[in-house]
Structures are given as C-alpha cells and as structure tokens.
Amino acid sequence: MNQELQILFPKSISVTIKREDLLHPVVSGNKFRKLKYNLLQAKAENKETLLTFGGAFSNHIAAVAYAAQEQGFRSVGVVRGDELNEKTDSNPTLQFAKECGMQFEFVSREAYRHKTEAVFLEELKAKFGDFYLVPEGGTNALAIKGCQEILTEEDAKFDYICCAVGTGGTISGIINSALSHQKVLGFPALKGNFLQDEIRIFAENDNWELINDYHFGGYAKINEELVRFINQFYKDTKIPLDPVYTGKMVFGVLDLIQKDFFPAHSNILLIHTGGLQGIFGMNERLKNKQLPTITIDV
Ligand SMILES: *Cc1c(COP(=O)(O)O)cnc(C)c1O
C-alpha cells in the first residue's frame, strides 16, 4: 500500500511511503519477502527445520521464528552472544521467537564468526538434525527474487526509490525491478564500505547509489536526535518508524530534501521495510541510558 505524506516539501517535491510494515503487525516488511521463496524451496526439499543466524535483537530471527511456526517448520536460531543464554526472558525479540517455538543455540562472538564453515554446520546437524539453512539476514538469490516483488506497476511514476540497507538483499531486488528512468538510493544502517560489493553480486543494473551519511555511528546505534525525529514523524503522520533501519533512512531523505539534493518536482518513494519489533528492545536500552524513548504504540 502506498501512502503519500501530507507534508509540504520545497520545490514541489512529493514523498510517498510504501507500507511494507503493514504485512504483519510485529514481524514485518522485507523479511517476509526474503523468506517467501526460501520457504517454498525448503518444502520442495522436504526439510522439516529452518536454521538461521542473528543477533539478539534481529528482525530476521523474529521473522524466521514466526514464518516457521506459521508454515509448520521447526526453527533453530543460532544467536550471537553466549551470555544471552539465561536472559531470553528479558529480551523482547528472543522472547517472541521463543513463543513461536524457536530453539536457540547461543554461541560466543568468536564462534559466531565461523558460523558458515562446514565443521560448525556439521556440529549443528549432529545436534538439531537436518535443516534448511537460511543465511544471516536472509540474503540469498531466492531472497532477491522475493524482493523483486516489492515494486509494482503503479510505482512507475516515481523518480527516486529510497530504502534502508543491512546486508543489501532488499535493495538488490528493488534495483532489479526498478525501471530505467528510476534511481534507487540505499541508506546503509551500518558503517563500512563492503556493501557496494555485496550489492553488485545480485544487482543487475547500475541505476543506484549508496548514501553513507545517515548510519548514526553504526548498526543499532542511536542518539537523542533520532529518537526525537521518530517520535515527531509519528505525531505528524501516524506512521511508525523503527530505530535501526527505517528511522535512519527517512531522516536521511528528509534531510537531503532540505539540502537541495533532489531536483524540483521529484517524485520520491520510500520503502518502509518494517522492523517495528525492534522498538521494544531499543526502548529497554534507551531507558537504561536514561535517554528519551520511542513513544509509538505498535
Ligand atoms: C533487515 C532489514 C533491512 C535491511 O535489509 P537487507 O536486505 O539486509 O539489506 C531493512 N529494514 C528492515 C526493517 C529490516 O528488518
């Protein structure tokens, strides 16, 4: 569903947001797109278990747990950080995944780095039985295929398509389905210049650019300015943004409009990839630091 923002922008620029967050109240957006063809493949291979990797607040872990339960798979989450073992009850993401029936394997940060090596995967098979492996963040060729379905015919009228970037899978799908007159802008939620190369693996066109100025210090890093922006945006539009991905991307686009980045009359589409379940965990962290919290009811 596309929703035009009722905000007056300079130079007759218009901004519309694609509400992929509405696919599900909590586990939303691009993670379902990325899982769609992987779930079909797992069924075709007669797998009974999905196994994947992620951090303690990962939208991907939550999405796999939920999708597995819905589609009748068992699920295993290999989670970074062995200190979390006794703390699942105080972590909203892991609590949600657990309620969906996910089993966890907590591993040290050191072991997590070797998660894709054959020895480690064999150990996991010995422990949990055979499984369909969904990569960290869910990005593989089948995920890109799912993300190519985000844009539809009605989106041909937009000049710019903007989306948040984590592993680069979502933007790759969007790049592949964007039309030649459209430019795709990616807003990385983390620091580092490796994403350019990751995206080139899957992207079939050159009509894209990464804007690296709005990661707010790195993955899941946040400051008071961003919290206030998310809260104000919600007040103005009733659209909830998440603190890890979409909040940073929308902040970036609105800032670039003020800085004259876009030509007059640009028609901009923002992809709301979801991620709202991350608000709960982030608010715990903000409270601990005695910073203002995100005041959105999701
Ligand atoms: C995972 C995620 C992204 C990033 O998607 P990638 O395909 O990893 O680049 C963006 N937004 C939200 C809400 C996400 O959960």
The model's pLDDT over 270-298, given as tens digits with 9 standing for 90+, comes to 999 999 989 999 999 999 999 999 998 77
CB of 296 within 8 A of CB of 279? yes
Q: Which two tokens stand for residue 262?
A: 């876009």
pLDDT digits (tens, 9 = 90+) for 138-148: 999 999 999 99
Task: Please tell me the predicted confidence (pLDDT) of residue 29.
Answer: 82
Which residue, by CA, sits nearest to atom 3 of ligand 1? 166
**In angstroms, what is the span from residue 172 Cα to ligand 1's centroid?**
11
Show the domains of the chain with their CATH numbers: 2-26+142-288 (3.40.50.1100), 48-130 (3.40.50.1100)
pLDDT digits (tens, 9 = 90+) for 97-127: 999 999 999 999 999 999 999 999 999 999 9
**In angstroms, what is the span from residue 177 Cα to ligand 1's centroid?**
17
Task: Please tell me the predicted confidence (pLDDT) of residue 28.
Answer: 67
Query: Among 19, 21, 38, 59, which is best to mutate for testing ligand 1, by the most ligand atoms less than 8 A from CB?
Result: 59
**In angstroms, what is the span from residue 184 Cα to ligand 1's centroid?**
15
Distance CA 36, CA 104 (A): 22
Which 3 state secondary structure label does DSSP give 79?
strand
Atom of ligand 1 nearest to the CA of 164: 10
Query: Among 273, 279, 298, which is best to mutate for testing ligand 1, by the most ligand atoms less than 8 A from CB?
Result: 273
Q: pTM for this structure?
A: 0.95
Instruction: Label residue 130 exposed, middle or buried (CB < 10 Å: 0-12, 13-18, 19+).
Output: exposed
Query: Among 19, 52, 170, which is best to mutate for testing ligand 1, by the most ligand atoms less than 8 A from CB?
Result: 170
Percentage of residues in the chain having pLDDT higher than 90: 90
Atom of ligand 1 nearest to the CA of 29: 13
Atom of ligand 1 nearest to the CA of 143: 7
Q: Which of 197, 243, 198 is nearest to 218 (CA)?
A: 243
Q: Which two tokens stand for residue 216?
A: 């707010």
> Within a 13 Å sphere around the CA of 87, how many CA atoms are in the beta-carbon half?
12
Strand order in the sheet with 183-188: 2-4, 14-19, 267-272, 160-165, 183-188, 208-210
Please count the other Cβ atoms lying within 10 Å of the Cβ belonging to residue 4. Answer: 11
**Rg over CA atoms, the chain:** 19
Which residue, by CA, sits nearest to atom 13 of ligand 1? 275
Which ranges of the chain have pLDDT less than 70?
Answer: 26, 28
Task: Please tell me the predicted confidence (pLDDT) of residue 24.
Answer: 80
Query: Among 24, 27, 30, which is best to mutate for testing ligand 1, by the most ligand atoms less than 8 A from CB?
Result: 30
Pocket, ligand 1, Cβ cutoff 6 A: 29-31, 59-60, 137, 139, 164-171, 242, 245-246, 273-275
Q: Which two tokens stand for residue 267?
A: 């028609």
**In angstroms, what is the span from residue 30 Cα to ligand 1's centroid?**
6
Task: Please tell me the predicted confidence (pLDDT) of residue 286.
Answer: 95
Task: Please tell me the predicted confidence (pLDDT) of residue 26.
Answer: 66
Q: Which two tokens stand for residue 49?
A: 């278990």
State the Cα angle at 51 between 196 and 32, rounded to 5°: 60
Task: Please tell me the predicted confidence (pLDDT) of residue 203.
Answer: 95
End-to-end CA distance of the chain: 18
Q: Which of 196, 213, 207 is nearest to 251 (CA)?
A: 213
- Residue the block writes with tokens 């030509």: 263
Give helix 195-202 / helix 169-177 axis angle, nearest 10°.
50
**In angstroms, what is the span from residue 60 Cα to ligand 1's centroid?**
8
Distance CA 33, CA 172 (A): 13
Task: Please tell me the predicted confidence (pLDDT) of residue 90.
Answer: 82
